[in-house]
């Protein structure tokens, strides 16, 4: 794996450099638009990070207790065996068509 620098940090450094240029040169309009673009990129990076955190939590969650409870409820209601038989028939049909 390669080491990749944090884009958010890079964008923040670029904004700081642009602010210094604004103070030195006074070319406000061009540099302000670039600063705005960089701020939007920072917001995108933060949104990505939040999405990745949620996705990571979802992947790490243990769904086995939920599945077991679902199977128990289906068995109590008498729906588990018919669902199993139906799935078994579909599987056999698929195997015959191959």
pLDDT tens by residue, 65-75: 999 999 999 99
- Kindly state the helix (H) or strand (E) to which residue 55 belongs, with its residue range: helix 28-60
Q: What is the pTM of this model?
A: 0.58
One domain for residues 42 and 26: yes
2 located within any domain:
no
Per the CB < 8 A criterion, the answer to whether 35 and 19 are in contact is yes
One domain for residues 16 and 35: yes
One domain for residues 69 and 84: yes
One domain for residues 51 and 71: no
Distances in whole angstroms, Cα of residue 31 to Cα of each of 8, 9, 27, 41, 56: 18, 19, 6, 15, 37
Full domain range(s) for residue 78: 64-97
19-57 per-position pLDDT tens digit: 898 888 877 888 888 999 999 999 999 999 999 999 999
One domain for residues 42 and 74: no
One domain for residues 40 and 75: no
């Amino acid at each position: 794996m390669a080491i990749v620098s944090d884009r958010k940090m890079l964008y923040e450094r670029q904004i700081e450099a642009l602010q210094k240029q604004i103070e030195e040169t006074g070319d406000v309009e061009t540099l302000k638009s670039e600063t705005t673009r960089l701020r939007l990129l920072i917001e995108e990076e933060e949104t990505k990070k939040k999405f990745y955190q949620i996705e990571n939590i979802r992947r790490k969650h243990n769904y086995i207790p939920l599945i077991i409870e679902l199977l128990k409820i289906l068995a109590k209601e008498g729906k588990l065996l018919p669902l199993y038989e139906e799935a078994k028939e579909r599987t056999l049909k698929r195997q015959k068509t191959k």
